[in-house]
Chains A and B, each alone.
Chain A
Amino acid sequence: MLTVVKNIKNQLKVSFLTVKYALIREMINKTTFLTNITFMILNDASFILQWIVLYALKDNVGGYTFNQVLLLWGIAAGTYGFSHFFFESAFNLSDTINNGKLDAFLVQPKNVLISTITMSISASAIGDLAYAYIMLFVFGFTIKNFLLFTLFCFTGSLIIVSIAIILGSLSFWFNKSDVIADTGNSLLTNFATYPDGIFKGITKILFYTILPLGYVAYMPVQILSSFNIKLFILVISITIMFITLAVITFYRGLRRYSSSNLMIART
């Protein structure tokens, strides 16, 4: 038991250093760093215009009030922000596998998956995070809201990172799957900013199965609007389930890792 605690402590220390050093790397060029952040905030904010136009036509879109749409945006931005700040390289997993860049982590006595997905950060994700919390303030700031909001941004990011890991791990089996992974990842973000009430039938089922945005964005908005312990537990368990699935897929694939020895023979 003691060694487990020690192992976790050591792993956290390495992960913390990795994030710190990756952040330092992003900050080498200060202007680019700050521009990236600022432009990301503006980028997220520009979409408010779209909703102003829509809410001028109707005061309820898909069962959401204007404030709730802002909160939806906030959670989407926060989810995106957390996942790309801490786990940016999970979204490039295909590339890491195809170019044999796992080698370095495989010879280290630390968790390969964690090392792989934390090796870089994205500066613009800080802009997303800033925007997310601005939206929380607009929606209504209370300690409870703050804690729930942060928790949901984190569980959401763990879910989309898990999906990114599963999609990226496909590269262990198929070598052209990077395009699929890219598309799959952008697909999730596309949907996340629209109220689920506008979708019907099969699409809605998708949101609670293979495109699990329901647990990333829609349920959190519901819970933040009026707390529901059942939904809360559901979100947490689904998150754990996705993480488990991702870990299994990655380690299954790792047995097939070929360390970029896959040459393409021309005949």
Chain B
Amino acid sequence: MRKYLYIFKSEVMTNMQYIFNLLVGFISYFILIFIFLNLWKYIYSDSNELINGYNMNQMIWYVIITEILWMSLGGRKLCRKICEDVRGGNIAYNINKPYSYIGYILSSHLGSVVVKGSIFTILGMLLGLIFLGKFPHLTLFSIIIVLITSLLATIINTLFVIFIGLFSFIIEDANPFWWLYSKVILVFGTLFPIEYFPGIIKTILSYSPIYAVSYGPAKLFVDFSIPNMVNVIIVQIIYLIIIYVLCLLIYRKGVRKLNVNGG
């Protein structure tokens, strides 16, 4: 475990050097939130109104949280890297190293997400305060829970990206699958809470990974409740186990294929 912590730490240090680029990257985030602020202000012409159980402030905070989670993930770059590792044969060098490839990628990627995530969180909170004037109802306990579930969400999300990237063992280019995944998360997971979708879609979404990687933490931030918390954490743990096992399976299968081909 210590070696993964070390990998994580050195990645954090490296990423600290690119803070300027992160700050410029925040501009896109700012614009997005700004657009949504205007959009929801327009739709909630009466600000006391509730739509699908949310008031205007909650809707905007929801987007603030889901976009922090999504934008700090940097999934496209990670997927590309894994695809290249697989296709370029880089992965073969990792087989006989004393750490697991999945553990290595996960810990180094989390290192970069943590730096970006922290900066985006601080700036995102400030932005929300400036735009809306107040936080949703928060307690120390709920903040801690939101942080924990956000971390879990990021780990699950990263594992999903790794899983998709490792798909290039089987098909030539896994990037289109990543693209599909990102579209689904963006459209169904970041812009609206799942309550906004009609009947059957809503049911499907509440069992989908979106519940674990996006909706969960954001929902707990804007509308905390103990039953919700229990729900989110259980779903997250189940998904964590499922996706980790899937990663292991595809990795083993892929490595066997590599050995057969002689690397």
Contacts and interface: CB of A to CB of B under 8 A. Distances in A.
Direct contact of A and B (CB under 8 A): yes
Contacts of A203: 34, 38
A57 B51 contact: yes
A245 interface: no
A35 B176 contact: yes
Contacts of A186: 28
Contacts of A53: 191-192, 196-197
A179 B21 contact: yes
B43 interface: yes
Contacts of B39: 54, 61, 194, 198
Given A190-B31, A190-B35, A49 B187 contact: yes
B129 interface: no
Interface string B170-203: 0001001001000100111001100011000000
Contacts of A49: 187-188
Interface stretch (A9-17, A39-47, A88-96, A138-146): A39-47
Chain A at the B interface: SS class = helix
A43 B183 contact: yes
A183 B28 CA distance: 7
Contact of B35 (A180, A194, A200): A194
A57 B28 contact: no
Contacts of B187: 46-47, 49-50
B32 interface: yes
Contact of A50 (B28, B43, B191): B191
B34 to A, nearest CB: 8
Contacts of A194: 35, 38-39
B42 interface: yes
A199 interface: yes
A61 B34 CA distance: 16
Interface residues of B, number: 27
A100 interface: no
Interface string B115-140: 00000000000000000000000000
Nearest to B196: A53
B24 interface: yes
Contacts of A183: 24-25, 27-28
A58 interface: yes
A49 B183 CA distance: 11
Contacts, number: 60
Residue of A32, A53, A62, A200 most packed against chain B (CB within 10 A): A53
Interface residues of A, number: 28
Interface in B24-83: 24-25, 27-28, 31-32, 34-35, 38-39, 41-43, 51
A187 interface: yes
Contact of B179 (A32, A39, A47, A50): A39
A242 B186 CA distance: 34
Given A54-B43, A61-B42, A46 B35 contact: no
A190 B28 contact: yes
A187 B42 contact: no
Residue of B42, B188, B192 most packed against chain A (CB within 10 A): B42
A203 B34 CA distance: 10
B197 A58 contact: no
Given A39-B179, A43-B183, A49-B187, A190 B41 contact: no
Interface of A: 32, 35, 39, 42-43, 46-47, 49-50, 53-54, 57-58, 61-62, 179-180, 183, 186-187, 190-191, 194, 197-200, 203
Interface of B: 20-21, 24-25, 27-28, 31-32, 34-35, 38-39, 41-43, 51, 173, 176, 179, 183, 186-188, 191-192, 196-197
17 contacts: A32-B173, A35-B176, A43-B183, A50-B187, A53-B192, A53-B197, A57-B51, A61-B39, A61-B42, A179-B20, A179-B21, A180-B24, A187-B27, A198-B39, A198-B42, A200-B38, A203-B34
